[in-house]
Amino acid sequence: MATSASSESGRQWGKSLRGLVPRSSHGTWSPAPERPDPVDVVTSQNADRMQFLVPIRHWRMSQSPFAFYRGTAKIMAGDLAPTPNTGITAQICGDAHLSNFGVYGSPERELVFDVNDFDETLPGPWEWDVKRLATSFVIAARHRGFNKKQRGYAVQATAAYRDAMATFADMTYLEAWYSTVTFDDIYEAFSDQITKKQTKRGRKFVTKARSKDNLHSLEKLAEEVDDTYRIVAQPPLIIPLRDLPEVGDQAEVGAIMEDELLGYLASVPDHLAVLLKRYRPVDVAVKVVGVGSVGTRDAIVLLEGRDAADPFFLQVKEAGPSVLEGHLPASRYKNHGQRVVEGQQLMQAASDSFLGWNIGQVTGTHYYWRQLKDMKASVDIEKETSKSLSRYAQLCGWTLARAHSRSGDAAAIAGYLGSGSVFDDAIADFALTYADQSESDFSAFTNAIESGRIDAHEG
């Protein structure tokens, strides 16, 4: 395809930015003299959380340097704020580590691969996402003992980002907007590198992902009681609302959920509201999720359609201010649930049809809603080989570029990056240095647990 005049001018503008922000400058980082204590930064996020769950958050973060890194978006936002950036803004994830990518079911019921966590999303410097992603591969490589190749993973992720952005820069806006990655695309892209054993493992992965539907969730999470279903208590990780002292009975649970659902339904398109109104809420439970999110007010809602054999699970997650808002302009959306949903729909090629938001009727807490485990699956770094982690780095780099191209100036970013490895090498240098810092922060964190400064237990 011929390069358009606007694409060429964008590339030239991006290229001119190299004089103001040399690509090599991204490779240098050192902690600020007044850098906050990383333990204080982590614990500062606990103030508004459910306090009985906070020790579980600490315990999960203490399991490895990589688990700790997953919960450090706020620490890294402060460290990234003074770093060089081109001033080209895109909708960014804000927490683009490798475990926040994965497969899920599109509205067309295809398995697609994309970024899948947007709690911190905000318009900001695209470089921040690239640096957080590259660093996650270095830390993962060290965790798995792939130390000799740790730099290579960061380079591969960044090079894939650079190559993909050059491709998107030459596309029409609609071509870039509709670009997506299905599981079949992944197989085709890496077919020459995949062994028979890996193909078998991949098919098993797909089968498992496709099995994660509402009936599967019903089987795992609920039990039949009086011709209907109730969510089974698994304290402290799953606590039905009826078991909380301030609620106390199922009638009160129903009244609360009716009010919350009304707020959520007001945020979804009319055609989906018609469908959702055919379901009635039958139970809700607080559920612990993730690593960094532990302690926030997250719940699962069980709804019933035609009968008990027609279940539908929704997940409700608390949405507070993005950790990026301490360093970037505040979100244009007054409701942080809407901030998450709008950012997700802008960055993803295909999003959950049932995304929505509301404000808690009692507490005023902001929430966003989505389907629970709809064909969702992600890689387990404990099972990845060196080669498969390398492929995954390339896949994540391509996907992040596609996500940024939907809102950012792809031609300008591509022009800045160029066709050589200068930026790739700089990001690898940054990732190695920052991985050292993150591991030092992890040691400080685990020492704080061992000394009794902070509490941690598995629950």
pTM: 0.94
pLDDT number for residue 2? 40
C-alpha distances out from residue 14 to 9, 170, 407, Å = 9, 14, 16
pLDDT number for residue 1? 38
With left for phi above 0 and alpha for psi between -120 and 50, is residue 5 left, alpha or beta? alpha
pLDDT number for residue 186? 78
pLDDT number for residue 247? 67
pLDDT number for residue 384? 87
* Range list of H helices, 214-249: 214-221
pLDDT number for residue 182? 84
Residues of the chain short of pLDDT 50, as ranges, are: 1-3
pLDDT number for residue 5? 55
Q: At what angle do helices 386-405 and 410-417 cross, to 10 degrees?
A: 130
For CA atoms 264, 265, 271, 277, give the dihedral sign.
Answer: positive
Please, which residues have CB within 8 angstroms of residue 456's CB and are 6 or more apart in sequence? 55, 58, 59, 62, 449
